[in-house]
Chains A and B, each alone.
Chain A
């Protein structure tokens, strides 16, 4: 406790819960070393890129979820919202045949709009976040199916759309480094949101709301308004995830999405963000998302059955949270 008390100034840069992040980072390294030793294929460039590509969608969703979780809330609708925004992109680009930028804007705006509704339900109508976003999750799942007529929408009229995620601008500049755009988008977004959390009022209120919402209100801050904004931002980021997944599959799959929210929340929690609110970081979330995809990829390479991969993921989540609680109990 004294060690961390001596460096409070660092908090601004790295967010709180630095120790949990170190723990998560160490776990990630241990996993990487373990799988590299266990299988020579693991560290191949192609496989590393595959891991990063697999992280991109879950990572973006987890960034969205992190914002809401830091405020002490939860958003269960991020998965189906992602699908919904993908379907919206499909409607704009394929059904209406509009140019690609409009599809991108529409998807992100739809996400932000849905987030705005969730946020209003939570902040203004005082519906518990779990219930409000559970309802939103089902509504969006249903709407995606209705709008698409339960069939996938393909982006055949927009040949550039798949490049959004799978193309590689970096590869075009540095031929030896074919990092897919999806991965670049994930990391740029992580940097941007990390900056928002630590350098803007929006971020400050995220932490403040999670730490003591009543105190924020008593300080004369428009607590409800900021909460709505944060949920809307979360929704907008889900729109980016929707574009990434639609681009990777070259289609909007309306039946997809359920279960993604739990993976995202798992990544957030493994990364040391407290479900009670008030503390957390984007860096931690990214590490958490990487741990999950490294684990899945590694187990797959070792030919562990998929059923068991899920079991291991569950154990990791519980272990991560328990380790965090132990640490915090020691710190008093």
Chain B
């Protein structure tokens, strides 16, 4: 094995974020090298630099011992470096073969596209991968797993010697993951070097040779995958020995039930979901991508049509057909995509906080009572510690964490007792995360009933009093939270596919 990639002292800044601070990374031929770190640790940024998508602000990149300065993705491809993006970068309206060879279409001698050659070339790649896929199929009609295969084929078509996979199994089921691993092993045996970014510990142990951990944009260390305990890797990621400081679990057996859901059904991803949520409780929702957690929230909130199910709020059955009904019942939903659904980015803090309750701040001539508005805004800015120069600051100029607080203020002002947080800390830096956690705990302590949906297991573990785990639209179990809760047990429930379950119960 020889070294193909050596990255040293890589620096990268984005407006307001120091994304990479002296990051480093090495890669050998024929190895699978896992790159790990919490969300926002800089893994994807580092790999985008390697793939020529970002230009580093400082540091050196060497390929086969020679320093390189990529001007763009094409330059990296020419050096045999291919990347498979986390969000698949495919053109859904084009066929498989057209996607693979975009930018390098075979042409006949009059410069006309040679579609037959295109399809033959694609077929050859799939034959080498031993994956049966029709090059003529339109990409939008493929499953996510198949689309992933297209991305891999595309990367291989550059004769890539280095293949970067950014969370390739995030949307794959077990069988598909096995298929992918088989391909990875085959590539590895052919000497291809593979960078494997993933959050899934068991996968890392199974597929990778070495693990490099990053934290807050910096290099932490590189260890052998086989003989390093998972706890050590996690400790490297979070910067401390496994944080067992889960919130103290209050005794809520006497607390009244705030939200009761029974037999909820909505489409493929909400199948007979039922649970109770008590006042003062934080119920975490865990599961893999596509498990249906967001869909459950949207069905409760009336954002998606419901096929069946009863919802009772404070013991009263409520008919919730639209978000309006849900808000009237005191349910608030904080979407994972703040920018699209939660905030009017061009409006100031005051305007956003009051957006949905403007009628409360206006008289019968519809004149806005600015003084009262300012007072309300000021009280939330101080109670939630929103860091903003003034309440007239445009929300788009605030950091992600402070934007999230503005959304929270908005819902609190509407007197919602039940708050559903969908990925509350996505895109928020580590420091502010802790603050959001504290805020959620305070809200629960004040008697709000809270649901937290999160893809980050540590987050769910740290926040939840109880943890509901979903798999493929079914609620596969509710575990008690706290230090006793095991990550393994959650993963077992999160991967409890229907067939396995039947097999187990038989």
Chain B residue with minimal CB distance to A278? Answer: B93
Give a binary string over B66-78; 1 marks a CB under 8 Å from any A CB, 0 the rest.
Answer: 0000001110010
Write out the residue numbers on chain B whose beta carbons fall within 8 Å of the beta carbon of A217.
Answer: 73
Write out the residue numbers on chain B whose beta carbons fall within 8 Å of the beta carbon of A210.
Answer: 93
Give a binary string over A1-16; 1 marks a CB under 8 Å from any B CB, 0 the rest.
Answer: 1000100110110001
**B335 smallest CB distance to A (angstroms):** 22
Are B91's CB and A200's CB within 8 A?
no
Are B92's CB and A199's CB within 8 A?
no
Write out the residue numbers on chain A whose beta carbons fall within 8 Å of the beta carbon of B53.
Answer: 218
| Chain A to chain B contacts (Cβ below 8 Å), 19 pairs | A5-B137, A5-B141, A200-B113, A201-B107, A207-B94, A211-B91, A211-B92, A211-B93, A212-B92, A216-B91, A216-B102, A218-B73, A218-B89, A219-B73, A220-B72, A220-B74, A220-B77, A221-B102, A278-B92
Chain A residue with minimal CB distance to B91? Answer: A211
Are A212's CB and B138's CB within 8 A?
no
Determine if B462 is an interface residue (Cβ-Cβ < 8 Å).
no
**B348 smallest CB distance to A (angstroms):** 24
Determine if B414 is an interface residue (Cβ-Cβ < 8 Å).
no
**A223 smallest CB distance to B (angstroms):** 9
Residue from the list A201, A208, A212, A278 in contact with B113, Cβ < 8 A: A201
Give the residues from 79 to 132 in chain B that come closer than 8 angstroms, CB to CB, to chain A.
Answer: 85, 89-95, 98, 102-103, 105, 107, 111-113, 115
Are A204's CB and B90's CB within 8 A?
no
Are A221's CB and B103's CB within 8 A?
yes
Are B134's CB and A212's CB within 8 A?
no
Determine if A279 is an interface residue (Cβ-Cβ < 8 Å).
yes
Determine if A98 is an interface residue (Cβ-Cβ < 8 Å).
no
Are B89's CB and A204's CB within 8 A?
no
Give a binary string over B167-186; 1 marks a CB under 8 Å from any A CB, 0 the rest.
Answer: 00000000000000000000
Chain A residue with minimal CB distance to B135? Answer: A8
Are B73's CB and A220's CB within 8 A?
yes
**A69 smallest CB distance to B (angstroms):** 13
Write out the residue numbers on chain B whose beta carbons fall within 8 Å of the beta carbon of A204.
Answer: 94, 98, 102, 105, 113
State the interface size on chain A (CB cutoff 8 A).
27
Are B91's CB and A208's CB within 8 A?
yes
Chain A residue with minimal CB distance to B142? Answer: A5
Write out the residue numbers on chain B whose beta carbons fall within 8 Å of the beta carbon of A215.
Answer: 89-91, 102
Report which residue of A16, A204, A216, A221 has the largest number of chain B beta carbons within 10 angstroms of its beta carbon.
A204
Are A16's CB and B93's CB within 8 A?
yes
**A272 smallest CB distance to B (angstroms):** 13
Write out the residue numbers on chain A whose beta carbons fall within 8 Å of the beta carbon of B8.
Answer: none
Chain B residue with minimal CB distance to A5? Answer: B141
Determine if B159 is an interface residue (Cβ-Cβ < 8 Å).
no
**A221 smallest CB distance to B (angstroms):** 4
Number of A-B contacts defined by CB within 8 Å: 77
Are B94's CB and A208's CB within 8 A?
yes
Residue from the list A11, A16, A212, A278 in contact with B89, Cβ < 8 A: A212
Determine if B136 is an interface residue (Cβ-Cβ < 8 Å).
yes
**A11 smallest CB distance to B (angstroms):** 7
Complexed CA–CA distance, A210 and B98 (Å): 14
**A205 smallest CB distance to B (angstroms):** 8
**B159 smallest CB distance to A (angstroms):** 14
**Contact A214:B89 (CB < 8 A) given known A199-B113, A201-B113, A221-B103:** yes
Complexed CA–CA distance, A229 and B113 (Å): 18
Chain A residue with minimal CB distance to B77? Answer: A220
Are A207's CB and B93's CB within 8 A?
yes
Complexed CA–CA distance, A210 and B102 (Å): 13
Write out the residue numbers on chain A whose beta carbons fall within 8 Å of the beta carbon of B98.
Answer: 204, 208
Chain B residue with minimal CB distance to A16? Answer: B93
Give the residues from 37 to 91 in chain A that come closer than 8 angstroms, CB to CB, to chain B.
Answer: none
Write out the residue numbers on chain A whose beta carbons fall within 8 Å of the beta carbon of B93.
Answer: 16, 207, 210-211, 278-279
**Contact A8:B91 (CB < 8 A) given known A199-B112, A218-B85, A221-B103:** no
Are B95's CB and A11's CB within 8 A?
yes
Complexed CA–CA distance, A37 and B73 (Å): 61
Give a binary string over A267-292; 1 marks a CB under 8 Å from any B CB, 0 the rest.
Answer: 00000000000110000000000000
Are B89's CB and A200's CB within 8 A?
no
Write out the residue numbers on chain A whose beta carbons fall within 8 Å of the beta carbon of B77.
Answer: 220
Write out the residue numbers on chain A whose beta carbons fall within 8 Å of the beta carbon of B85.
Answer: 218
